[in-house]
Amino acid sequence: MLKRTAAMGGACAGYGLSNRLLPVLASPSSEPHPLAARPPHYAPKAKRVIMFFLTGGMSHVDSFDPKPELTKRDGQPYNKSSRDKQVFVGSPWAHKPRGQSGMEITDLFPHVAGVADDLCLIRSMHGDHSDHFEATLHMHTGSNGVAWPGMGAWVSYGIGSENNNLPSHVVFAERKPYAGAQVWDSNFLPAYHQGVRLKPGNEIIPHLTPQKDNPWSLQQAELAMLKRVNQRHFESRRDGELAARMLSFETAANLQRLAPQHFDLKDESDRTLEMYGVKRGDMRSFGWQTLAARRMAENGVRFIELVDTGSSGNWDRHSRIEGNAGLAKKVDQPIAALIKDLKERGMLEDTLVICASEFGRTGYGASHGRNHHAKAFTCWLAGGGVKAGHVHGATDDFGLTIAKDPVHVHDFHATILHLLGLDHEKLTFHHEGRNFRLTNIFGNVVDGVLA
Amino acid sequence: MSYQIDKRIGAGAATWFAAALVGAGAFTAQAEESTHWAFQPVQPTEAPADETGWAVNEIDRFVVARLHEKGLKPNPPADRRVLIRRVCFDLTGLPPTPAQVNAFLSDKSPDAFEKVVDELLASRHYGERWGRHWLDLARYADTSGDGADAPVPEAHHYRDYVIDCFNADMPYDRFIREQIAGDILAKQDPDTRARERIIATSYVGLTRRFNNGEYRDMHLVIENTLSTIGKGMLGMSIGCARCHDHKYDPISMQDYYGLYGYFESTQYPHAGTESGRMRKNFTELPGGGLAYAVFDKKDKKHIRDTRIHTGGNPGSHGAPAPRGFLDVITEQNAEIPEGESGRLQLAEWLASPHNQLTTRVMANRIWQYHFGRGLVKTSSSFGLQGEEPSHPQLLDWLADRFVKDGWSFKKMHKRILLSQTWRQSSDVSETAAAKDPDNKLLSHYPRRRLEAEPIRDSVLFVSGRLKEGSPGAHPFPKPNSKNEYPYTQHNPFAKDYDHEHRTVYLPSRRLGKHPYMETFNGPDPNECTARRNVSTVPLQSLFWMNSDFLKNNARSLADRLARHSDNPAKRIELGYELAYARKPSKEETKALADYVAAHAKRIPGDVKPEDRETRAWTSLCRILLSGNEFIYVD
């Protein structure tokens, strides 16, 4: 039985000291790290998560749930009695059975289609809200109104991290998704579990680079002196919070020295770079982000999310659905490369890869585009404990309603936690008079996707 | 199984269903409501006698009696230097100047400390510190909070209003009345504070907006208003009753929709959003300018009681719910004048001396801001799910005193600060650690980390860079000629502005905290924040190590020390006085002087010698500012 609430709650720096006074002979470094790895509720299948989030509502009927019926009816009015110009829109992308499993995927994602036998498609996803902001929040936090902690924060809170010199939860986001930083916020969970936004570009983590006139050689001496000053202050007080802050400077110094190694791909082979479609020296593209994500996963980071594109210019195509081609081109090869790469390294079996969007899209629309659709859409999982080459659930001939095995966003969350060895009903945090969960009071683990 | 919830209900419904089910079966509201402490009238009792002679006032007598029960003793008073630093941060959020410290140390009169307290209470900085506490409760923000998160350039009037009210020691009952119904008061008496009273209702106007259309999801907006009033003023989570009768607390849907009616009859301003871009229903202020304030709906047919939304669904109307108060506190509702929203009557009820929730909740909050935790730890949750008070009689005594003192904050501060309880040292004895590890009984003053605002303000203050006063409006872009903003959920407003005024004046966006506030546990501007989380994370340490802010301020402090003296020991002494309100020991001076000398030598030889010296001193100043002693208060 976990006792996270007692150990991690409160204002006490995430340090498990209900009694802040340290034993008389304690040293500032003798306390467990607030991100120390913690055992899950039961044996996990996956030890870490890499999640792709395709922003804007990626069309399931143009990608992972192709519908020939739409092509047949292309241009016909969707609702004859209605005066608006909503017509069925056939997908511009052909589809065919892929791999040994024979699951149908369109040519929009040719590379991902190439690893179909590693995927577990859930074609029967559904959510509660069909606006971007609310649905994005829902997919991340389980709430579509008032923000709650993000899934990554819950995972970090649940099982801690294997490497205390890196954050446990990071989010690659060149631009923010809908609902902004709320999707990775720790909210009422202890702040250690907050997602650290990694912003591709000059300053990937805020303040990660020393000032030019204070390089590591000098800074090291400065931090040593700071430690002496703090140590002296600590001696007469022996307060766990003071010790925690002293330790956090050491963690920060390690982060500063080590994190750039995870971003710099110098020691990756040409073959690997080619697989991800990354040019040497690139520190920005989605391929670079994906490869850096793999490196962080290798180094013990628990939950890594990659937000594709951000809240504009994304998959939200109300007109000209063909425009998806450019968006897919950006992410298709890196996503497939990650799966192949993890597999080659023997990491796919204990890494859960997630690909999600806030909702899908209708099989009809105006101006050759598609509308938001939260009643049926596709997300997929791969690796850590899920069936490979498997399709769970199905929609009707138009991709509008669920024909089989519905999976609500809460069920999706419950399943992800389950794969990590966490019981979604037991992973709770007491806040303002009640026990909160990622899945609220809902959610059932989807047995049908478990290997 | 399907979890489909009507989207019009939204997450709120799910939340409250959850609240219902989590505790289902554990409790029957009817049985306990009659006995629950928080619903009982305030019953002040006489403070017990203190035979030890330690106590100087009633607060001490209540505290020491509880300590004795547990076999504990209070700590001796803190050292004078500790005390002046503590009281300066407590009341103004800034460290004392060396002159303030010296004046206090050399004042041998018995009321020396009281003089310091009076001086600090009279300072403008008091309102900037204590006004911020209220802004946390009022979930203050400078943007609307829906998908577009449009700027609200008018919001800052409310921020300044709150600061001014604290500085003027506005009685809390009036403060409540103005914020709930200032527009109605201004109409009744246009010659008294009309401008301020209208601005005050931005408390309601600043409610978080939802969705992407004009006045869409108003049921969620009004829930946010009620939840802010409920938690902030009454210490009750009344939002639970939006979808069903509250399962923990005696709050029914009748209660919820009774309160809802006041605000459904009220016109909220619209800051513009994706569909519905035009800003409208702002209030023109006497003397010019606009406020993000509220007023009674102009079309009288919209001023009315509402009906219960069955299951929390705003499209499904059940029984009528006459506008009224919480039954558990007051069964008799006030009569509402024809054609008015009734907010004035609601305000009178909230601010009534007989409202035991309002008075206890604020007495407890004042205590919390002075001690880091309330006598009731769950300071926004006084219902059956909250914690019991550690000192129930003291709480009632304070609540009663607060009202008898004319709802004066400043009088309450003095009572608390002049107590021996508050003036104890923060040392922890082994007995105390064993018998009362959470220090609930207050055998010592709890050491505290400063919150985001006093940390940043102190860095600026000590380095000599802090700009006094309010910077006024934020430099937001102006709406176009049609009074529209271009922001949408796809391109929300997302700019942060910086300055070197106090942190209370930094803009606050609902969809993204200011980066500094995000790093240092700033409040959530969407919800009533009862208490700041003060966790320590490595990203904060990176800020101390590498930010331009620290570099620039450390450099300014180094310049300040250099102007003071050429003698390294004297510079270090001033640095300690400014940053830590004390003189360094000989060993400390030597260690740091040696550090500067050695550090100057470590700096590469191609740097000019005088620059090398400046850089070494800048490094020393960064150490002083980064030290635990700088951001912790004993």
Band of pLDDT at residue B6, cut at 50, 70 and 90: very low
Distance CA A62, CA A52 (A): 18
Instruction: Give the per-residue pLDDT at B10.
Output: 35
- Please check whether residue A440 touches B, CB under 8 A: yes
| pLDDT above 60 for A241 | yes
Cβ(B200)–Cβ(B212) under 8 Å? no
Task: Give the minimum alpha-carbon distance from A379 to chain B in angstroms, rounded to a whole number.
Answer: 18
Spell B425-446 as b/e; 16+ CB within 10 A means b.
bbbbeeebbeebeebebbbbbb
In B265-324, the residues whose Cβ lies within 8 Å of chain A are none
pTM: 0.87
Nearest to A440 among B18, B540, B615 (CB): B18
Instruction: Give the per-residue pLDDT at B7.
Output: 31
Instruction: Give the per-residue pLDDT at A83.
Output: 66
Contact B14 A178 (CB under 8 A): no
Task: Give the minimum alpha-carbon distance from B228 to chain A in angstroms, rounded to a whole number.
Answer: 13
Number of H helices and E strands in chain A, helices first, is: 11, 19
Residues of chain B with C-beta less than 8 angstroms from the C-beta of A19: 433, 437-438
Tens-place pLDDT, residues B238-260: 877 887 787 678 889 999 999 99
For the segment B516-539, the average pLDDT, to the nearest whole number, is 88
Tens-place pLDDT, residues B320-359: 999 999 988 888 889 999 999 999 999 999 999 999 999 9
HSE-CB at B97 with a 13 A cutoff on CA atoms is 7
- Please check whether residue A91 touches B, CB under 8 A: no
Cβ(B91)–Cβ(B117) under 8 Å? yes
| pLDDT above 50 for B210 | yes
Instruction: Give the per-residue pLDDT at A28.
Output: 44
Between the CA of residue B68 and those of B53, B397, B418, B419, B421, what are the distances in Å?
Answer: 13, 19, 21, 17, 14
Instruction: Give the per-residue pLDDT at B239.
Output: 78
Band of pLDDT at residue B313, cut at 50, 70 and 90: confident
Minimum Cα–Cα distance from A226: chain B residue? B623
Band of pLDDT at residue B8, cut at 50, 70 and 90: very low
Instruction: Give the per-residue pLDDT at A82.
Output: 66
Band of pLDDT at residue B631, cut at 50, 70 and 90: very high
Tens-place pLDDT, residues A229-240: 999 999 999 888
Between the CA of residue B309 and those of A230, B19, B315, B379, what are the distances in Å?
Answer: 58, 18, 7, 29
Distance CA A420, CA A427 (A): 12
- Please check whether residue A248 touches B, CB under 8 A: yes
Q: What percent of chain B has pLDDT over 90?
A: 83
| pLDDT above 60 for A27 | no
The answer for residues whose C-beta is within 8 angstroms of residue A224's C-beta and 6 or more apart is: none
Instruction: Give the per-residue pLDDT at A203.
Output: 86
| pLDDT above 50 for B99 | yes
Number of H helices and E strands in chain B, helices first, is: 27, 8
Cβ(B536)–Cβ(A13) under 8 Å? yes
Tens-place pLDDT, residues B160-208: 999 999 999 999 999 999 999 999 999 999 999 999 999 999 999 999 9
Instruction: Give the per-residue pLDDT at B25.
Output: 33
Tens-place pLDDT, residues B128-148: 999 999 999 999 999 999 989
Residues of chain B with C-beta less than 8 angstroms from the C-beta of A150: none
Tens-place pLDDT, residues A349-385: 999 999 999 999 999 998 899 999 999 999 999 999 9
Cβ(B270)–Cβ(B276) under 8 Å? yes
Residue A304 pairs in a beta bridge with A50, A170
Tens-place pLDDT, residues B369-417: 999 999 999 999 998 888 899 999 999 999 999 999 999 999 999 999 9
Cβ(B167)–Cβ(B534) under 8 Å? no
Position with higher pLDDT, B20 vs B490: B490
Residues of chain B with C-beta less than 8 angstroms from the C-beta of A207: 539, 542-543, 545-547
Task: Give the minimum alpha-carbon distance from B23 to chain A in angstroms, rounded to a whole number.
Answer: 8
Tens-place pLDDT, residues A127-152: 999 989 889 999 999 998 778 999 99
In A183-222, the residues whose Cβ lies within 8 Å of chain B are 187, 190-192, 194, 196, 205-211, 213-214, 217-219, 221-222
In B535-594, the residues whose Cβ lies within 8 Å of chain A are 535-548, 551, 588, 591-592
Count of CB atoms situated within 10 Å of the CB of B131: 22
- Taking all residues of chain A, what is their mean pLDDT, rounded to a whole number? 90
Residues of chain A with C-beta less than 8 angstroms from the C-beta of B489: 131-133, 178, 311
Question: Could you tell me which of B569, B579, B563 has the C-alpha nearest to residue B614?
Answer: B563
Band of pLDDT at residue B15, cut at 50, 70 and 90: very low
Least confident of A70-74, A307-311, B280-284: A307-311
In B225-244, the residues whose Cβ lies within 8 Å of chain A are 237
Cβ(A178)–Cβ(A358) under 8 Å? yes
HSE-CB at B565 with a 13 A cutoff on CA atoms is 9
Band of pLDDT at residue B31, cut at 50, 70 and 90: low
Selected residue of B149, B247, B533 to mutate for chain A interface (largest A Cβ count, 10 A) = B533
For the segment A6-26, the average pLDDT, to the nearest whole number, is 34
Tens-place pLDDT, residues A413-434: 999 999 999 999 999 998 766 7
Tens-place pLDDT, residues A287-299: 999 999 999 999 9
In A256-315, the residues whose Cβ lies within 8 Å of chain B are 256, 311-312
Band of pLDDT at residue A21, cut at 50, 70 and 90: very low
| pLDDT above 50 for B106 | yes
ipTM for the complex? 0.92
Band of pLDDT at residue B56, cut at 50, 70 and 90: very high
Cβ(B267)–Cβ(B294) under 8 Å? yes
Nearest to B385 among A194, A249, A434 (CB): A434
Contact B536 A444 (CB under 8 A): no
| pLDDT above 90 for A259 | no
| pLDDT above 90 for B68 | yes
For the segment B591-613, the average pLDDT, to the nearest whole number, is 94
- Please check whether residue B598 touches A, CB under 8 A: yes
Between the CA of residue B7 and those of A138, A143, A267, A385, B14, what are the distances in Å?
Answer: 12, 12, 50, 33, 11
Band of pLDDT at residue A20, cut at 50, 70 and 90: very low
**What angle do helix axes B356-371 and B409-417 make, rounded to 10 degrees?**
50
Between the CA of residue B538 and those of A22, A168, A259, B138, B546, what are the distances in Å?
Answer: 21, 12, 13, 30, 12
Instruction: Give the per-residue pLDDT at B610.
Output: 87
Band of pLDDT at residue B17, cut at 50, 70 and 90: very low
Residues of chain A with C-beta less than 8 angstroms from the C-beta of B7: 128-130
Instruction: Give the per-residue pLDDT at B521.
Output: 87
- Please check whether residue A237 touches B, CB under 8 A: yes
Band of pLDDT at residue A31, cut at 50, 70 and 90: low
Nearest to B628 among A179, A205, A245 (CB): A245
Band of pLDDT at residue A85, cut at 50, 70 and 90: confident
| pLDDT above 80 for A11 | no
